[in-house]
Amino acid sequence: MRDTNVVGRPSGQRSLERPFRRIICEFVAVLLWPFECVAIVFFPLLPFAAAGIAEFERARARECGQSIPRIRPNGAPWMSWAAVRVRSSPLWSQDVPLTLASAVVGLASSTTFAVALIASVVLIATPVLVSRGTGAVFGPVEVSDAPGAVSVVLICTVVLLLMGTSAVWLSLLRDAIVRAVSRPATSQLVSELRDVRSNRAEIVSAFELERQRIEQDLHDGVQQDLLALSMSLGLLDYRLGPTSGEHDLVLRARRQVETSLQSLREIVHGVHPKELSDLGLNAAITGLCERSAVAVEIDIDGKTDEICSTTASALYFAASEALSNVARHAGTGRAYLRLRRLNGRLSLLVSDNGRGTAHIDTKKRTGLAGLRHRMQSVNGDLHIHSDPHKGTRIEATAPAVLSTSTGEPSRYVSHEREA
């Protein structure tokens, strides 16, 4: 069986594409060589030119298959990014050395392509001149017959192959220089990113423990005290009797206690829904859909209960906010909710065929913007696809298990909470 790559092209074809891609990228780099020389000669221009040239070198290396990080954020304007870059220390430790090295390699590359251009002209012109009987003169050597023309063609072909090989090796040399300059920064970025993820996991786990403690304190402390107070007031009302003068006062006090108790239950539910702890994510979201103001078509995978508790909370509140937005803003009476677990990740989709006006206000930390931050806190994300008069799709994704700094997963298994 013929060996093929992931997109179905023969491996031999792919191996041929790589040298040609390197030669093309090297040719583009040669076109920038004059600008590099101008920036070096006019030294005040070097910091500004170095930022762009170094970013081009990193992009060229990535195009040639190297794993080089992108420094300029996606969508960031070049001028504003360069203005910040020239004031940073990495410019002089990375970009300027990379620019100087690129200029040196560019001199060799320019010579290579110049020789290749001359060889190409000779290769094409010699047979034409000989066929017309004019002959071709190369210094003291004159080629006027067919054998001589064939010899020139063979020599030029060998020269072109040598120049192509030289261009490939010069491209590999550029890659080595980019890796050498970028390695310290890359290692530092990877280390910092690992620390950030570890710290975020620790913070999320600590928050989850604190949330459970607050919920338990409210449930077992204040809520029980209010229940006891309501029972005491009921007993007092029974002893005083309906004809006593304090009957109305006691009834008013009981109503106030019941109102406070209901408010406390809503607060506890806002911190962490009780059905989520007792019954699991499937049952909690099913109950949420049944209580929704719009009719919801539910499609839930049955393998979503044994997941991280913080992820379960984030997905529950994402579903709650999405269904609430459908009821308030979509202008439709129906919605669709799908919950799936695939390859260790959970995906929650809430869609409707309403007005399609949903968006994330980045200036606020409430609503959908708050949900996105909540999902990002568990290594997930929130995506919104909304078209006017075509409806809205809100998709929240997150890993089923949130890893902590110790490497042990923080899992949530339903039906484990004690009564």
In angstroms, the Cα distances linking 218 to 112, 166, 230 are 77, 74, 16
- 283-310 pLDDT tens trace: 888 888 888 888 999 988 767 656 777 7
Same domain, 121 and 176: yes
Q: Would you say how long the chain is, in residues? A: 419
Same domain, 284 and 321: yes
Tell me the average pLDDT of the chain: 77
- 339-391 pLDDT tens trace: 988 877 888 999 998 887 777 766 655 577 777 877 877 788 888 888 887 78
Q: Is residue 351 part of a domain?
A: yes
Number of domains in the chain: 3
> How confident is the model at residue 205, as a pLDDT?
64
Same domain, 182 and 40: yes
More confident residue, 33 or 186: 33
- 219-236 pLDDT tens trace: 666 667 777 777 887 777
Phi first, then psi, for residue 185 (nearest 5°) are -65, -40
Q: Is residue 6 part of a domain?
A: no
Is it the case that residue 167 has pLDDT exceeding 50? yes
Q: Which of 271, 293, 309 is the last residue of a domain?
A: 271
Tokens of 189: 């970025």
Is it the case that residue 64 has pLDDT exceeding 50? yes
Report the sign of the C-alpha dihedral through residues 233, 238, 240, 242, in that order.
Answer: positive
Q: Which of 219, 244, 271 is the last residue of a domain?
A: 271
Residues 183-191, mean pLDDT to the nearest whole number: 56
Report the sign of the C-alpha dihedral through residues 63, 69, 73, 79, in that order.
Answer: negative
Q: Which of 198, 217, 247 is the last residue of a domain?
A: 198
Q: Is 195 exposed, middle or buried (0-12, 13-18, 19+ CB in 10 A)?
A: exposed
Question: pLDDT-derived band of residue 416, with 50, 70 and 90 as boundaries?
Answer: very low
More confident residue, 53 or 80: 53
Q: Is residue 337 part of a domain?
A: yes
> How confident is the model at residue 361, as a pLDDT?
66
> How confident is the model at residue 196, as a pLDDT?
65
Is it the case that residue 269 has pLDDT exceeding 60? no
Is it the case that residue 113 has pLDDT exceeding 90? yes
CATH of the domain at 372: 3.30.565.10
Same domain, 179 and 125: yes
Same domain, 223 and 333: no
* Domain housing 42: 11-198
Same domain, 23 and 61: yes
> How confident is the model at residue 117, as a pLDDT?
93
More confident residue, 327 or 304: 327
> How confident is the model at residue 267, as a pLDDT?
65
Q: Is residue 24 part of a domain?
A: yes
> How confident is the model at residue 403, as a pLDDT?
45
> How confident is the model at residue 36, as a pLDDT?
86
Is it the case that residue 415 has pLDDT exceeding 50? no
- 191-223 pLDDT tens trace: 566 666 666 666 666 666 666 666 666 666 666
Q: Is residue 380 part of a domain?
A: yes
Whether the CB-CB separation of 345 and 310 falls below 8 Å is answered with no
Whether the CB-CB separation of 56 and 25 falls below 8 Å is answered with no
Same domain, 244 and 160: no
Is it the case that residue 160 has pLDDT exceeding 70? yes
Same domain, 394 and 355: yes
Is it the case that residue 404 has pLDDT exceeding 50? no
Distance between CA atoms of residues 72 and 56, nearest Å? 11
> How confident is the model at residue 215, as a pLDDT?
64
Q: Is residue 419 part of a domain?
A: no
Same domain, 192 and 291: no
Question: pLDDT-derived band of residue 116, with 50, 70 and 90 as boundaries?
Answer: very high
Q: Is residue 78 part of a domain?
A: yes
Same domain, 130 and 37: yes
Is it the case that residue 243 has pLDDT exceeding 70? no
Q: Is residue 253 part of a domain?
A: yes
- 38-60 pLDDT tens trace: 888 888 888 888 888 888 888 88
More confident residue, 61 or 402: 61
> How confident is the model at residue 418, as a pLDDT?
35
Whether the CB-CB separation of 261 and 226 falls below 8 Å is answered with yes
Same domain, 232 and 350: no
Is it the case that residue 106 has pLDDT exceeding 80? yes
Residues 94-112, mean pLDDT to the nearest whole number: 90
> How confident is the model at residue 411, as a pLDDT?
39
Residues 393-413, mean pLDDT to the nearest whole number: 60
Same domain, 256 and 282: no
Residues 62-88, mean pLDDT to the nearest whole number: 79
